[in-house]
Structure 1
Amino acid sequence: MRTEAQRSAPARRRAPSGDAGTTGNSVRGMDRRRFLLALAAGLAGTAVARGATGLGDAVTPLPAPAGPVVPASALEAVAPRGVPGLVPVPPPVGVVDTLPGEGTSLALSIDDGTSTEVVAAFARFAEDSGVRMTFFPNGRYASWQDNAPALRSLIESGQVAMGNHTFSHPDLTTLGDREVAEEIRLNQDFLRTTFGVRDSPFLRPPFGARDERTDRIAADLGHPTIAMWNGTMEDFRVLTPEELMTAARRWFHPQTIVVGHANHPAVTTVYGELLELIAERGLRTVTLADVWATPGQRVRGVTAGGTVLTG
């Protein structure tokens, strides 16, 4: 059986050589952002490590930062005014692990949600920065109910999308057909009752563990697209802020689907640096629903090929 580290590794793309575009401490001395100060003040909760079979022991949380800063140019790059998003195409049947075509899109996708404080920080980060992202929650964690009001408004606006990550985060390949279906259905019910999300085509199997059988069951239940990844924040384990930024510099590239986790507080201390990196590399954040349409979705904006559509 593969380890958690192996399953969290990108599916196809190898790391590029070098770290062009690193940010270092260049954000210091620029204008501070209120949302980052608020995040820095409120994250003293206990982090929980996720192991290959579930959750590990509680670990000592990282100290709150003194207050990172975000350049205005970074905010403008990730939250362009007047551009609602790419025009999505029908979701494919089968596995996707990269964004289609050529472009400058970056899909940030956040899994699990063991920490109420970290989920809250991601919601504030999205609201105050305009960053677009896709969450893959496990309904067993109270963090999502705790933060449902803030997330619902982001979902309704289209800035945040949701996908199914199963209810209790099992390795689906170890379960029988009925158990696989139950895990998916329970999380569908959770997404519908908590966020009003009814028709997400995306399933992300926990640990990336999947096969033709589990894919077929997911498709039969309304999730034809198995959303994998080709970049990772490498935060399936507890990392320092510096290690997180090393991973971001390695994997934040055009047309990449990056997987991260709403489990450990270190990520909440580097939001400013992440925004600056996105801006430096000329990337634009998208949700998976910006790229692949969900049923009943109204779309307007610019297609991946550059065609302008309105309506």
Structure 2
Amino acid sequence: MRWFAFILSVTLTGLASLSGCMPVPPTPSPESQVAPSPQPQQAKRTPTTPGEREIAQLPTLQGGAEYWVRKPRPVSNDILQKRYPNIFALAGPSHKNQVALTFDDGPDSKFTPQVLDVLKKHNVPATFFVVGARARALPEVTRRMENENHVIGNHTYWHPNLPKESMERMDWEVRETERAIRTITGKRTTLFRAPYGELAPERVERLGDMGYSVIGWSVDSLDWRQLPTEEIINNVLSNTHPGSIILFHSGGHWTQDLSTMVEALDRIIPRLKADGIRFVTVPELLRR
């Protein structure tokens, strides 16, 4: 019996040491333990193509895919921006003909490199809000963002739905992503975007205390709905104005196909340039 207890103790110790290889978020408080959103049937199928299998191996978006969870344009963000104008931004000044392209939920190994190729082709900068676990899994793609003069922002570590989590969990998600970005790029970001764009006043205040500017958007491409290329182009061009912060995604759930977004981006950039629009990063747009 003593030998059994000894072997069990050694086994548990070994497992504990292995678990330290990957950051683990704090135990959720009772109020944050909620049932996950139901997932559509297509998410239960098995990846069939090499591209699907590669993306499916990346750390998952813990709160669920954008098209399961997110509201197209949370009205509450307009209220938050007016209440916290020095912390929360949805757009930049409108007196200059410039806009900021932003990309969420990357990096991944398929669509993020394609986005970077399009940006390089047109010689425009962008701002990428990265998921910390994915940045750690793909440091070379994250480093490419930095090397090609794009700005990297914080999009939490596991992409949870923050209103359903404790404040302690949010703190951990932000700090762990901050460490991941610093390890890969040598820099600390001061930009944060919440998964699904969902926040509450006390969380905005907390992020401000942590030294972050919270970045929303004023134009949603709706690429996360896997729309046809022409619809994405129309969504962006019909709503863009000087000072716009434009939302795209450079990654997502493995079932999402963002190829129409890449095609649309390649056509949107020259159309806006022809209108005299200049592309800048979020810090340049906001002067933060």
For Structure 1 versus Structure 2, the TM-score category normalised by the shorter chain is 0.5 to 0.7
1:127 aligns with 2:111: no
Counterpart AA for 1:247: N
What does residue range 10-89 of structure 1 map to in structure 2 within 5 Å? 45-46=51-52, 53-55=63-65
| Paired position in structure 2 for 1:188 | 178
Once residues 290 and 230 of structure 1 are traced to their aligned partners in structure 2, the CA distance between those partners, rounded to angstroms, is 16
Report SS of the residue matched to 2:117. Answer: helix
Report SS of the residue matched to 1:258. Answer: strand
Cα displacement (A) at 1:118: 0.8
What does residue range 158-197 of structure 1 map to in structure 2 within 5 Å? 159-197=149-187
Cα displacement (A) at 1:267: 1.7
| Paired position in structure 1 for 2:130 | 137
Cα displacement (A) at 1:262: 0.7
| Paired position in structure 2 for 1:240 | 228
Report SS of the residue matched to 1:111. Answer: strand
Q: Per residue, is there more helix in 1 or in 2?
A: 2
| Paired position in structure 1 for 2:190 | 201
User: TM-score normalised to the size of structure 1?
Assistant: 0.62
Counterpart AA for 1:251: N
Report SS of the residue matched to 1:112. Answer: strand
Do the aligned residues in 2 keep the contact of 1:113 with 1:144 (CA within 8 Å)?
no
Counterpart AA for 2:141: N
Cα displacement (A) at 1:106: 0.9
| Paired position in structure 2 for 1:65 | none
Quick one: structure 1 residues 291 and 253, their matched pair in 2 at CA, closer, same or farther if it must change by over 3 Å? closer
Structure 2: give runs of 5+ residues left out of the alignment. Answer: 1-36, 38-48, 68-84, 252-257
Quick one: structure 1 residues 167 and 248, their matched pair in 2 at CA, closer, same or farther if it must change by over 3 Å? same
Quick one: structure 1 residues 131 and 150, their matched pair in 2 at CA, closer, same or farther if it must change by over 3 Å? same
Cα displacement (A) at 1:120: 0.8
Once residues 205 and 109 of structure 2 are traced to their aligned partners in structure 1, the CA distance between those partners, rounded to angstroms, is 33
| Paired position in structure 1 for 2:205 | 216
Do the aligned residues in 2 keep the contact of 1:138 with 1:166 (CA within 8 Å)?
yes
Cα displacement (A) at 1:104: 0.5
* Range moving further from structure 2, 125-134 or 172-181: 125-134
Cα displacement (A) at 1:101: 4.2
Kindly report the root-mean-square deviation, in angstroms, between the aligned alpha carbons of the 2 structures: 2.9
Q: Which has the higher contact order (CA 8 A, sep 6+)?
A: 1
Once residues 51 and 186 of structure 1 are traced to their aligned partners in structure 2, the CA distance between those partners, rounded to angstroms, is 15
* Range moving further from structure 2, 114-123 or 99-108: 114-123
User: TM-score normalised to the size of structure 2?
Assistant: 0.66
Counterpart AA for 1:150: R
Do the aligned residues in 1 keep the contact of 2:132 with 2:157 (CA within 8 Å)?
yes
Report SS of the residue matched to 1:163. Answer: strand
Cα displacement (A) at 1:168: 1.1
| Paired position in structure 2 for 1:108 | 101
Counterpart AA for 2:216: M
Q: Identity, % of aligned pairs?
A: 22
Structure 1: give runs of 5+ residues left out of the alignment. Answer: 5-42, 58-91, 295-311
For residues 89-135 of structure 1, give each alpha carbon's deviation from its aligned partner in whole angstroms, at most 9, with x where no partner exists. xxx63211111241101111111116311111122222232111111
Q: Radius of gyration: which is bigger?
A: 2
| Paired position in structure 2 for 1:7 | none
Once residues 51 and 166 of structure 1 are traced to their aligned partners in structure 2, the CA distance between those partners, rounded to angstroms, is 10
What does residue range 146-161 of structure 1 map to in structure 2 within 5 Å? 146-154=140-148, 159-161=149-151
Quick one: structure 1 residues 201 and 93, their matched pair in 2 at CA, closer, same or farther if it must change by over 3 Å? farther
| Paired position in structure 1 for 2:240 | 252
Do the aligned residues in 2 keep the contact of 1:251 with 1:258 (CA within 8 Å)?
no
Once residues 56 and 98 of structure 1 are traced to their aligned partners in structure 2, the CA distance between those partners, rounded to angstroms, is 22
Aligned residue pairs: how many? 213
Cα displacement (A) at 1:268: 1.8
